[in-house]
Amino acid sequence: MKDILKYFDALNEDQIRKIEQLHDLYLFWNEKINLISRKEMPYLYPRHILHSLSIARVFDFAPNTKIIDIGTGGGLPGLPLAIYFPQVQFHLVDSIGKKIKVVNELIKSGIDGIEVFYGRHDFYQVEHYESLCRKHNLFMSGGSDFHGNDPDYVFMKKLKVPHEKLMPLLKRTGVYNE
């Protein structure tokens, strides 16, 4: 936790408690489901939680900003960022059901402002994405068009070639990590 506080010394007691709790929950759940490489677990704070929070050193998200984390895996960076930005709406999407199930369990620890969705980044399940977007004033149809109501930021990780319809959105509003 000292690594986190070194760079984020303005965290309040509730945020510190939630990050510590998140750390313990990752240790517990990673024994059951491989969320993070087991070799990486001793470095969970500096390499995963701090790395996720580093986005907050670059972006200062305004309240009610909508962020979609496509390919969230075990909830990184969305969960730590939701702790740091409690007034922001995070939508975590992944195509691996067991990881989404664990992310839902992690959220039960008291992390607010998160919606979790099981699906693929290429929007094969369009009707589910349309429902998600309608609920949050984002609209998609025809695969992945946002029809001018784009999310404020989109984070994508470990995607060799993003869906061609997402590239204009990523170039305009998001961060694409190759």
For each of the domains in the chain, give its residue range(s) and CATH number, in order of start: 2-177 (3.40.50.150)
Using alpha carbons, select from 132, 63, 74, 144 the residue that is nearest to residue 103: 74
Q: Are 70 and 135 in contact (CB under 8 A)?
A: no
Distance CA 117, CA 97 (A): 9
15 versus 144: which is more confidently predicted? 15
Q: Are 67 and 153 in contact (CB under 8 A)?
A: yes
169 versus 145: which is more confidently predicted? 169
As a whole number, mean pLDDT of residues 110-126 equals 72
- Between the alpha carbon of residue 149 and those of residues 65, 140, 143, the distances in Å are 12, 9, 15
pTM of the model: 0.76
pLDDT tops 50 at residue 68: yes
